[in-house]
Amino acid sequence: MKILEDRIRQDGTILPGNVLKVDNFLNHQVDPQLMDQLGTEFARQFADAGITKVLTVESSGIAPAVMTALHLGVPMIFARKHKSLTLTDHLYTAKVYSYTKQVNNDISIDRRFLDPNDKVLIIDDFLANGQAVQGLFDIAQDAQIEVAGVGVVIEKRFQKGHQLVVDAGVPLVALASIAAFENGTVTFAQD
């Protein structure tokens, strides 16, 4: 999506460890108009997939996920992060290793919000090694619901997450696909 690539070129900074900082429009300060455009595009691409709910993980997936859900006309659920969980009977849970924070989190969704008839779309801000998406795949499997697609605002194509989603046989849409960080600049996959 050209508008997103332009914004990444303009406002993104590359940090050590292949981390792209985009906290002035995506995951700290949020540009609502851009989020609306991203949500519109995800909704367009998954319009015929029969989605009943959008799933994400707090907190940085929430902005694009809620806009996507708005345009699909379905609810959005964000998995909550916890350091460790006890008393999990009423929850679906999974373990997720955080790429940026380098800590393990448990993530959870209340069982009341997922139904075996659901068909979900997973939305997140970044796809790096695919740990967050895998955690949501695990919850979906546990809840016996179908994952009809994964949409990420930015994928770092050179890391493992892209292949993980492809290998799972789930349709993947990345609105910006980064092939490499070279000499402090971003190279997009189609460049």
108 binds ligand 5GP (CB under 6 A): no
Q: Which of 28, 22, 73 is closest to 51 using CA atoms?
A: 73
Q: How far is the CB of 87 from ligand 5GP (least distance, A)?
A: 26
Q: How far is the CB of 57 from ligand 5GP (least distance, A)?
A: 6
What are the CA-CA distances from residue 128 to residues 42, 99, 119, 139, 179 (Å)? 19, 7, 24, 19, 12
Q: 141 CB contacts (<8 Å, ≥6 apart)? A: none
Q: Select the residue interacting with ligand 5GP from 29, 100, 104, 163 (CB under 6 A).
A: 100
Q: Select the residue interacting with ligand 5GP from 3, 19, 49, 180 (CB under 6 A).
A: 19
Q: C-alpha angle 179/180/184, rounded to 5°?
A: 145
Question: Any binding-site annotation on 168?
Answer: no
Show the site string, 122-161: x = touches ligand 5GP by CB under 6 A, - = not: --xxxxxxxxx----------------------------x
Q: Return the number of the residue (106 or 125) whose C-beta is nearest ligand 5GP.
A: 125
Show the site string, 27-66: x = touches ligand 5GP by CB under 6 A, - = not: x--------------------------------xx-----
At residue 13, what are phi and psi to the nearest 5 degrees?
-130, 145
3-state SS track over 140-165:
HHHCCCEEEEEEEEEEECCCCHHHHH
Name residue 189's amino acid: A
Binding site for ligand 5GP (CB under 6 A): 19-22, 27, 60-61, 99-100, 124-132, 161
